[in-house]
Amino acid sequence: MVVGEGVNFRTEPNTNSTPSGKLINGELLLFKEIVPGIKNRLWITIDESWLKVQRVSTGEIGFVFGKYVRTQEAINPDIKLIQIGNWYNIFKKDLGVTVKKSKPVLQVNVDGDTTIITNHEGYWISICSQSGLNEGNVEGHIYSDNEGNLSIGKQEVLLRNQKYQFNLVCTGEVELDRFMGFTRTDERIYFITEVFNGSQTSYSKQDLTDCILKFGETGYHLNFAGDLNGDGIPEIIFSEATTREGVTYYFVSNKEGKLELKSISYGYDKC
């Protein structure tokens, strides 16, 4: 929706192009694609980018600068960000897991609060991926609230086949503080790959701890582990709490067999 009077509707995404007309305040536009302006890691700001749109009233296609529109596809309406990539919903169905491509929509509640919903119901987790994921049934597991809690000394098997086993391991130390409570220190999370070669097994380790904002306050919860992109290496989703309510992080496997952080909540990426 256009927000502003006399907004230029241009033929190219720049101020040097000739305007093909003026947009009316409140006019509806169909979003086609975004021409990123200033990028913030995996996020782009609507206000500083050109949008390719179609006028609903005439069908004409052109460009408008982002600060003159209000869009539904904002992950955070207060700072007007869009996460680059494809959105997917992950469903828990019986003992299996199903993935469907989705479209995020901004919903304003009666009390004025804003939330992100998608065009499917009954999904367990919604994620954004910078690459395409396999739709349909995938090999993986969704962890409910009463399981998948990660603590020091805990190992969780994420995926296993004839040649590999992938594990998530939480290590560290526990101290007794002066209030007779336990404090976890030097807590680390490792992604461990076991390679089976006949009677011998080799291991490789990737430290994921520095890829996240802050862990150790309330614990961790493993939300999902499974092969979403079909490369034989599991993607994992876990959060900064012992339930699914904490800040949630999505790790995807790359061509080198390592995990890369793709954040659901903030676009934070230290890896």
Where do the domains of the chain lie?
A: 7-83, 86-138, 143-263
Fold category of 7-83 in CATH: SH3 type barrels. (2.30.30)
Taking residues 103-113, what's their average pLDDT? 63
Helix H, strand E, coil C: the string for 199-241 is CEEEEEEEECHHHCCCCCCCCEEEEEEECCCCCCCCEEEEECC
For 37, 51, 175, the CA distances from 47, given in Å and listed in that order, are 9, 10, 48
pLDDT in tens, 57-92: 999 999 999 889 876 544 444 445 556 667 888 998
pLDDT in tens, 224-235: 999 998 899 999
Contact (CB, 8 A) for 98 and 125 = no
pLDDT of res. 198:
84
Backbone angles phi, psi at 209, to 5 degrees: -60, -40
pLDDT of res. 166:
95
pLDDT of res. 117:
67
What own/partner pairs with CB < 8 Å and gap ≥ 24 does 46-54 have? Answer: 46/71, 46/74, 46/80, 46/81, 46/82, 47/80, 50/13, 50/14, 52/13, 53/29, 54/29, 54/30
Contact (CB, 8 A) for 126 and 87 = yes
pLDDT of res. 42:
47
Contacts of 36 (CB under 8 A, 6+ apart): 44, 49, 84
Higher pLDDT residue, 213 or 251? 251
Residue 186 region, left (φ>0) first, then alpha (ψ -120 to 50), else beta? left
**Which residue bears the tokens 């805990």?**
154
For the cut 90, the answer to whether the pLDDT of residue 97 exceeds it is yes
Pairing of strands 136-138, 81-83: unpaired
Per 3-state DSSP, the chain is made up of helix, strand and coil in percentages (nearest 5) of: 0, 50, 45
pLDDT in tens, 8-52: 999 999 999 989 999 999 898 887 777 766 554 445 567 778 888
For the cut 60, the answer to whether the pLDDT of residue 251 exceeds it is yes
For the cut 50, the answer to whether the pLDDT of residue 269 exceeds it is no
Taking residues 151-180, what's their average pLDDT? 84
pLDDT band at residue 107, thresholds of 50, 70 and 90? low
Q: What is the pTM of this model?
A: 0.64
pLDDT of res. 79:
43
Partners of 30 in the β-ladder: 54
By C-alpha distance, which of 148, 177, 169 is closest to 244? 148
pLDDT of res. 147:
80
Backbone angles phi, psi at 72, to 5 degrees: -80, -20
Average pLDDT, the chain: 79
Other residues' Cβ atoms within 10 Å of the Cβ of residue 39: 12
pLDDT of res. 154:
87
- Distance in angstroms (rounded) separating the CA atoms of residues 258 and 244: 24
For the cut 70, the answer to whether the pLDDT of residue 162 exceeds it is yes
Higher pLDDT residue, 167 or 44? 167
Residue 68: strand, helix, or coil: helix
